[in-house]
Amino acid sequence: MRKPILILLFCLALVCGAEAREVYPLDDSWTFSFRYENSTDNARCVTLPHTWNLDALAGGGDYLRTTADYQRRLYVPRQWSGRRLFLKFYGVESTAVLLVNGRYVGEHRGGTTAFVLEITDRVRFGEENQLRVVVSNAPTEEVLPLSSVHNLYGGIHRPVELIVTGPTAVSPLHLGSDGVLIRPRTVSAERVEADAEIYLTSRGESACRLTVEVRDAGDSLVAAKTLRAKIDGKPVAVPFVIGRPRLWSTDDPALYRVCVRAESDSSSDEVCVETGFRNLRFTADEGFRLNDSLVQVRGVTLYYDRTGRASALTEDDYDEDFALLRELGANALRSPAGPHAPRLYDLCDREGVLVWIDLPLIRAPFLSDLAYYPSPRIEENGRLQLLEIIAQNINRPSVVMWGLFDRLWQRGEDPVSYVRSLCELARRSDPSRPTVACSNQDGELNRITDLVVWAQEVGWERGHTEDLAVWLERLHTGWPELRSGVCYGGAGSPAQQFAPARRPGAPLAQTEGRQSRFHEDYTRHLLRDTLLWGVWINTLCDYGSAREPQGVEATGLVTMDRRLRKDAFYLYRALWNGAEPTLRIADRRCDRRGADLQTVTVYSSAGEPVVTLDGDTLPVKEYAPCIYRCDSVRMRGRVRIEAAAGALRDEALFTGDCALIAPPRRDPLQTAGLLRTN
């Protein structure tokens, strides 16, 4: 397969000419081998995106945190001599070292941000060249995150591109970005004033002609400017104005296209980026306003993997996850440990979904874990990852906040000083967006960022869900000045419907029904609250965790293989999706019921349902908005429960008078291709 592809590259180079930028995907024809194999003789052929934990799984192995080599041959046409070559990696987990023809080029530390390395001086023109990427996901004390629940799968788990430019170009080297950063100064319905911050690079020239053109969604030119720019390592700021702009919003996600062209005596280069313009305002008394319109944020957290692919996700995978988010009715997405691949944010930009991207400064809920200590290398890595996150996503109108930490402790080495420095860095790098933190602790940490989202779990492992009302009251009276949101979630497996007898001190069973009751009670309290600017559900989908007994963290509203929507998914679909009415009889997978009186729960966004048992109408009470219950229902033998609301119908079969002893059942999540742990 290599030779036809290399010939194609050569032909494209001749057709495109020597001046225009060319971009070639390099996702095929890689070989892969583990370092511990001591030889590449048995290297496997792989296509990117790739993670070696799928290889380990196929061989019945365990979740591996190790080091591996990826290699590929690259033919560079002689006609490219005098041009510049860059490799762009969209994500390598967690560290990468690049060598070309055995010579060191550079490295990157961080598994979710893109990076670019120039290989011009390492390649041989007119010949085949050998690319080698040394990749490691082994535990290290130099790269965030130091602590995590989610798996770090390892591998070149996102695409790779070859970028070919002339001697003078819009730089691909600035923090993995496109080299064009759009910085709005004022945004209103009457006028947008902004700067295009452009990074240039050249070999041999000190100036170029720079043209910036801004076009709307209909391809009409709305702003343009041409100037002579110095190439001295400093960014060039080109101001532009748009009159009567179409502002980006969740209802009308209007986008603009900004094209930057750099022309010199020897070459020409052009880069185009999409962006949008909107006003953001968060206040303690008004909540979140987008373009002066109040928006109640309904968000979900989404991790970075799925069954059968681990973190080597495709565009189709992201499309499916985005469709789940839209079906749910959520209007916001949280990336909890660094950015997702660009495809997901492209969808958010174009469809009007708000985005929160976190720095992977995380404390997992294990007492032995250290999430932070004041090592210069750790702190520098955190700063660099934050700068990369901002530079690579600053043009996206969907991104409305930068997350700095998740559930840190103020114990041992106090992180307050470091978090303050991160917050100052974020504000300098992007004054247009607020910073946010996810916290489950008291203390000064909660007053550093512009926004705080409280990770609330009362009523799950301790206390009762009714205690949430007490916490909300304390929040209102004790910290009303904080701009607060809340996130919550509990694990529930569809394969667990019957809770076994619990030993003292043992964790509570993770049944689907327990998860549903937890979410029902939380929505009952939170829907009445006026202080919180947003609610975030942890999580949209289950995700892989080698630290969990079954290898899965089952907090999702959807299973990790995306095949099964849990009952809690339909609860939020009823509450949030105003476009598609929902009617769902809950607990249908718990189809064996005891001899005692039972409760039937129905989620309905189409009004109060009529519920019948074998044709007899049952009395219905509204427990909370969209949640209806029939209490004291006697089930004898095989019975049919039916619900009707408007034009919607649903039914479920149950067997009553059963001795509820949990049958031995294998968890389908365990057999769905998930990673096993020691």
Of 275, 301, 317, the residue at which a domain comes to its end is 275
Amino acid sitting at position 613: L
CATH number, residue 97: 2.60.120.260
Question: What tokens were used for 435?
Answer: 């910073």
Amino acid sitting at position 492: G
Let me know if residue 627 belongs to a domain: no
Residues 6 or more apart whose CB falls under 8 angstroms from that of 311 comprise 49, 51, 93, 151, 153, 155, 157, 304, 305
Q: Are residues 263 and 339 in the same domain?
A: no
Half-sphere exposure of 457 (CA within 13 A, CB side): 15
Let me know if residue 654 belongs to a domain: no
CATH number, residue 317: 3.20.20.80
* Ranges of residues in the chain whose predicted pLDDT is under 50: 1-18, 58-60, 662-678
Q: Are residues 456 and 319 in the same domain?
A: yes
Let me know if residue 207 belongs to a domain: yes
Let me know if residue 678 belongs to a domain: no
According to the model, what pLDDT value does residue 508 have?
A: 74
Q: Closest Cα to residue 131, out of 87, 95, 186? A: 87
Strand runs labelled E in 517-608: 534-537, 543-544, 552-553, 583-585, 598-604
The Cα 338–Cα 483 span in angstroms is 23
The Cα 115–Cα 133 span in angstroms is 13
Residues 6 or more apart whose CB falls under 8 angstroms from that of 132 comprise 69, 70, 71, 98, 99, 100, 102
Q: Are residues 144 and 35 in the same domain?
A: yes
Of 135, 165, 195, the residue at which a domain comes to its end is 165
Question: What tokens were used for 370?
Answer: 């250290």
The Cα 388–Cα 374 span in angstroms is 21
Peptide linkage before 51 cis (omega within 30 of 0): no
Are 303 and 560 a contacting pair, CB within 8 Å?
no
Q: Are residues 415 and 270 in the same domain?
A: no
The Cα 35–Cα 625 span in angstroms is 56
Q: Closest Cα to residue 590, out of 502, 490, 509, 513? A: 513
Amino acid sitting at position 361: L
For the segment 541-553, what is each residue's pLDDT rounded down to a tens digit?
999 999 888 889 9
Question: What tokens were used for 350?
Answer: 């174009």
Task: State how many domains the chain has.
Answer: 3
Domain span at 133: 2-165
Q: Are residues 271 and 294 in the same domain?
A: no
This prediction has a pTM of: 0.93
Q: Are residues 184 and 227 in the same domain?
A: yes
At 643 the three-state DSSP class reads strand
Q: Are residues 262 and 294 in the same domain?
A: no
User: DSSP secondary structure string, 589-640?
Assistant: T--B--SS-EEEEEEESSSSPEEEETTEEE--EEEETTEEEEEEE---SEEE
According to the model, what pLDDT value does residue 364 have?
A: 87
User: DSSP secondary structure string, 69-129?
Assistant: EEEEEEEE-GGGTTSEEEEEES--BSEEEEEETTEEEEEEE-SSS-EEEE-GGG--TTEEE
Q: Are residues 9 and 115 in the same domain?
A: yes
Let me know if residue 487 belongs to a domain: yes
Let me know if residue 375 belongs to a domain: yes
Q: Are residues 161 and 232 in the same domain?
A: no
Let me know if residue 624 belongs to a domain: no
Q: Closest Cα to residue 282, out of 138, 136, 112, 481? A: 481
Q: Are residues 327 and 207 in the same domain?
A: no
Are 571 and 520 a contacting pair, CB within 8 Å?
yes
Q: Are residues 240 and 323 in the same domain?
A: no
Of 132, 165, 198, the residue at which a domain comes to its end is 165
Question: What tokens were used for 567?
Answer: 């009952």
Q: Are residues 149 and 187 in the same domain?
A: no
Let me know if residue 659 belongs to a domain: no
